[in-house]
Amino acid sequence: MTLLTAERTEAPARRRRWSPRTRELVLLTLGSLALAVVMTWPTLADPWRTIPGDLTDPLFSAWEIGWYGHAVLHRPGGLFDANIYWPLPRTGVFSDTLLGLAPLGIGVSGMADTLFRYNVAYVLAAAFNFAGAYLLARQLGCGRIGAAVAGAAFAYTPWRISHAIHLNILMSGAIPLSIALLLRGHGIGRGPWDPARGRPWAAFAGWALAAWQVSLGFAIGLPFVYVLMVLGVAAVIAWLIVQRPRIPRRIVLADLAGGALFAGVTLSLASVFMRVAKDHPEVAATRTAQVLEYFSPPWRGLWAAPEHSLVWGRLTAGARAGIEWPIEATLLPGLIVVLAGLLGLVVTIWSRATRIWLAVAVVASVVAALGTTFAEGKMTWLPARELLPGVEALRTSGRLIMYAVLVLGLLAAGAITRLARHRRLRPFLLAVPLLVCAEGLSTVPHPEVPPPPAALAHAKGPVLILPAYKQDSLSLIWSTDGFRPQVNGYASFTPGMISEVVRITESFPSSLSIDYLRRMGVREVIIDRRRAQGTVFEPAAERPVRGLPVERRDLGDSVLYRLL
């Protein structure tokens, strides 16, 4: 009898561990990952040799993941003093930082391993985006099918295909998920606001996740900071309107701790970026109103899709024609989510007031995304650049279309949830998230990354690879085998030092260039014959060095020079 009783009590315990919410989270995790593998294919077909997009920004992001993982273990006190653009300091923040992805880079060893870590991050970004928007919709009271529409819209909008080369833009799932956690932490969603239903752990986790999003760079992080400020003000106003319900002390403490963490991360990273901007006047040239105007999308960008969109690429080629920088100016959210979002203004679970605010949010996001195209920016970006700290550093307004897509997804989720109450419609409604995903199918290329020149295996650094380019992403991915110091680099601006190096080393191996590099502290110079073809370095690789203070070693595809 005792054994039988024990078995009967254990069975309900097992059932309680697998509650409906737990099962949903498990299925969401597995489903998001499986969908991401399919939607980003062939990213994981050969992840040790290829990379999605091209051989520019993706290689830089891959190097960042590897560098921060390496620095966490080996140089925790010099996280931002990276091995590139040697000997300049804080070169790790010459562009947006992917510090938050450092765990993925721990233990990285060489180019193939680094590419694998990046490709995994690329797939995880899509899964995270889907899951984050899904959970936000669920927290606000949407059904599973409606939430799937919101997740699919946020993760696989045609707009995201433009940014296949920008992992810092793709990895934005923490935005909706942190908002969902903050709402849950304060008892908001799935019914009337009731602080007693709040969860302190969720409130703190929301702030922590928001801080993590900021650690992936200010291109997405800074607008998110201001979005959280707007939501905070809205929450205070709502709290006053509903007669100031008592907030449990534990939630207040969680907010204080989480808010302090969020502010600390944001201000700490901002201070490093400000120091770089102060030390390098070249940064100012990338932050002018003229640069913002150049990157501001035209109106037709709202219905233009990137060329690699499988569904919309050719169909919107006319709208895309003439756009100088289509990566930042093709903003098509997707036809299905727009139509479902418009339906959500009429048939929905949202109240009239909620619908109005969601519609206002969509319009505001679109206006912000247009940059100086809307009213020449006189009512939006230009005053914001003067009044709001850090906004002058933002030059790519089109990325703010992300918030319009997120809110359109929530409007669509409200409509689908309302329609799903009719059981006969549910089988047909399941096709909606699939159609949204179909619009996100792409033909993004996955080029193979060239292997490093043989001479690099014999270099200890500091090293300069010739031909020298002001922006050299290949040299970064090659440096992940030990992260030896190198003069070559890649960033969002061109440091004056590298411009001078490029100019002087065009005569290498001459006495002038050798003396210049020796004074810098460079120990080795490599001429990569593959990239030297057709340049002044093609004959230079064969030039004799008798009488010069160097040792020359021919290694087939490259030549290694040791400066004496």
Alpha carbon distance 71, 328 (integer Å): 32
The 8-class DSSP code of residue 247 comes to P
In terms of DSSP H, where are the helices of 75-108?
A: 102-105
Percentage of residues in the chain having pLDDT higher than 90:
84
Alpha carbon distance 517, 247 (integer Å): 64
Inter-residue contact 81 to 75 (CB < 8 Å): yes
pLDDT at residue 5, rounded to an integer: 53
Given 381, 415, 439, the domain boundary residue is: 439
pLDDT at residue 239, rounded to an integer: 84
**pLDDT at 103 exceeding the cut of 90:** yes
423, 291: one domain: yes
Strand 524-528: give its sheet, edge to edge.
463-466, 524-528, 558-563, 550-554
pLDDT at residue 162, rounded to an integer: 94
Return the ∠ at Cα 402 (arms to 396 and 408), rounded to 5°.
145
Q: HSE of 122 in the Cβ direction (CA atoms, 13 Å)?
A: 32
432, 497: one domain: no
94, 156: one domain: yes
Alpha carbon distance 87, 82 (integer Å): 9
Alpha carbon distance 301, 295 (integer Å): 11
Asked if the structure places residue 322 within a domain, the reply is yes
pLDDT at residue 547, rounded to an integer: 87
In this prediction, residues 211-215 reach a mean pLDDT of: 97
Please name the residues in contact with 55: beta carbons below 8 A apart, sequence gap of 6 or more.
447, 449, 473, 474
- The two tokens of residue 509 are 């191996």
**pLDDT at 424 exceeding the cut of 80:** yes
Asked if the structure places residue 86 within a domain, the reply is yes
Tokens 């760079």 -> residue: 217
Return the ∠ at Cα 266 (arms to 105 and 410), rounded to 5°.
85
242, 307: one domain: yes
Task: Residue 546: give the domain boundaries.
Answer: 454-563
Nearest CA-CA partner of 297 in 288, 284, 306: 306
Nearest CA-CA partner of 221 in 122, 81, 97: 97
Q: What count of residues does the chain have?
A: 564
137, 43: one domain: yes
Q: Which long-range contacts (CB under 8 A, 24 or more apart) does 359-364 make?
A: 359/411, 361/403, 361/404, 361/407, 362/404, 362/407, 362/408, 362/411
Nearest CA-CA partner of 276 in 90, 98, 97: 90
Terminal-residue alpha carbon distance, the chain: 88
Counting the structural domains of the chain, the total is 2
Cβ count near 220 (within 10 Å): 23
Inter-residue contact 269 to 218 (CB < 8 Å): yes
459, 428: one domain: no
**pLDDT at 477 exceeding the cut of 60:** yes
How many helices (H) and strands (E) in the chain?
Answer: 26, 4
Alpha carbon distance 118, 18 (integer Å): 33
Inter-residue contact 367 to 380 (CB < 8 Å): yes
In this prediction, residues 291-300 reach a mean pLDDT of: 95
Question: Backbone phi, then psi, for 464, in 5-degree steps?
Answer: -120, 130
Alpha carbon distance 2, 4 (integer Å): 5
Given 439, 470, 496, the domain boundary residue is: 439
Please name the residues in contact with 317: beta carbons below 8 A apart, sequence gap of 6 or more.
307
Please write the tens of the pLDDT for every residue from 165-188: 999 999 999 999 999 999 999 999
Asked if the structure places residue 274 within a domain, the reply is yes
Say if pTM beats, i.e. exceeds, 0.85.
Answer: yes
Tokens 């489903």 -> residue: 31
Asked if the structure places residue 5 within a domain, the reply is no
The 8-class DSSP code of residue 442 comes to B
Q: Which residues pair with 525 in a beta bridge?
A: 464, 561
433, 458: one domain: no
Most distant CA atoms of the chain, gap in Å: 98
Nearest CA-CA partner of 85 in 522, 557, 562: 522
Inter-residue contact 340 to 432 (CB < 8 Å): yes
- Which amino acid, residue 25? L
Alpha carbon distance 224, 232 (integer Å): 12
**pLDDT at 10 exceeding the cut of 80:** no
Please write the tens of the pLDDT for every residue from 234-284: 988 888 887 777 889 999 999 999 999 999 999 999 999 999 999 999 998
- The two tokens of residue 288 are 């002018």
Given 387, 412, 439, the domain boundary residue is: 439
Asked if the structure places residue 6 within a domain, the reply is no
139, 254: one domain: yes
Please write the tens of the pLDDT for every residue from 48-87: 999 999 999 999 999 999 999 999 999 888 899 999 999 9
Inter-residue contact 120 to 491 (CB < 8 Å): no
Asked if the structure places residue 7 within a domain, the reply is no
Alpha carbon distance 188, 191 (integer Å): 7
pLDDT at residue 194, rounded to an integer: 82
Q: For helices 111-139 and 144-156, what crossing angle results, to 10°?
A: 140
Q: HSE of 470 in the Cβ direction (CA atoms, 13 Å)?
A: 10
Alpha carbon distance 190, 117 (integer Å): 38
In this prediction, residues 456-478 reach a mean pLDDT of: 93
Asked if the structure places residue 444 within a domain, the reply is no
In this prediction, residues 326-346 reach a mean pLDDT of: 96
Please give the residue that has the higher pLDDT: either 89 or 4: 89
- The two tokens of residue 409 are 């997804």
- The two tokens of residue 398 are 């089109």
Q: Which residues pair with 534 in a beta bridge?
A: none
In this prediction, residues 91-116 reach a mean pLDDT of: 94
Q: CA dist 527 to 202, 238, 394, 540, 553, Å?
A: 54, 65, 37, 8, 11
Please write the tens of the pLDDT for every residue from 479-509: 999 999 999 999 999 999 999 999 999 989 9
36, 135: one domain: yes
389, 468: one domain: no
Judged by DSSP in three states, 330 sits in: coil
412, 307: one domain: yes
pLDDT tier at 1 (50, 70, 90 boundaries)? very low
Asked if the structure places residue 406 within a domain, the reply is yes
409, 546: one domain: no
